[in-house]
Structure 1
């Protein structure tokens, strides 16, 4: 196993990926109520109950970005997902909170 099973992704890069043609999977591990109140467009909620669906539907060769509140819990989840065979896993630095501060117009409700 490599030193770091996941990489860090900054807010500007995620913005570029969303605006461009980059194909990737975006998962949000915040609680269901917070996710329902606002999320990054295109994200899917991920919890223990939805992990089997992610494994069945998401390409393990496509980049996978994990979002939490502030970018801390997503690091643990990203490391775990990398260990499950996803080849390119990222944790969003600053999390949803930073995204919402920088891009309030790009929050899906």
Structure 2
């Protein structure tokens, strides 16, 4: 069975965040882009930090992957699903769409 992830629309993510639903938001954009703005509560994820994420995050914690436009996050989400996470999501539209729709929900 191929590990799978699900697509997550920005409206649902905003609802989950407002409900303070337990989840791990990971942003795979480059460090400068992340520093300039990201979804509150997200952590930057790259090749140097991914092992710690996999080791320290319980497998039943939903993981939401964010990239620029929602494309690269699909590959990363699929890979994370293969690492044993039960629920992995790729944010549709990525950070660019999120920031456009919800400029008040960007941490800088």
Which residue of 1 is the match for residue 82 of structure 2? 83
Residues 63-106 of structure 1, C-alpha deviations (whole Å, 9 max, x = no match): 10000000000000000000010111000000000000000011
- Give the root-mean-square deviation of aligned CA atoms: 1.0
| C-alpha separation in 2, matches of 1:91 and 1:69 | 11
Deviates more, 1:57-66 or 1:40-49: 57-66
- Secondary structure of 1:90's counterpart equals strand
CA distance in 2, matches of 1:38, 1:71: 16
Q: Is 1:51 the equivalent of 2:47?
A: no
> Deviation at 1:40?
0.1
* Matching residue of 1:68: 67
Q: TM-score, normalised by structure 1?
A: 0.95
Aligned twin of 2:99: 100
Aligned partner of 2:26 in structure 1 is 27
For structure 1, the residue ranges without an aligned partner over 5 or more in a row are none
Unpaired stretches in structure 2, ≥5 consecutive residues: none
Give 4+ residue runs of structure 1 displaced > 2 Å after superposition.
Answer: none
Corresponding residue SS for 1:87: coil
- Aligned equivalents of 1:48, 1:41: Cα separation in 2: 21
Count of aligned pairs between the two proteins: 108
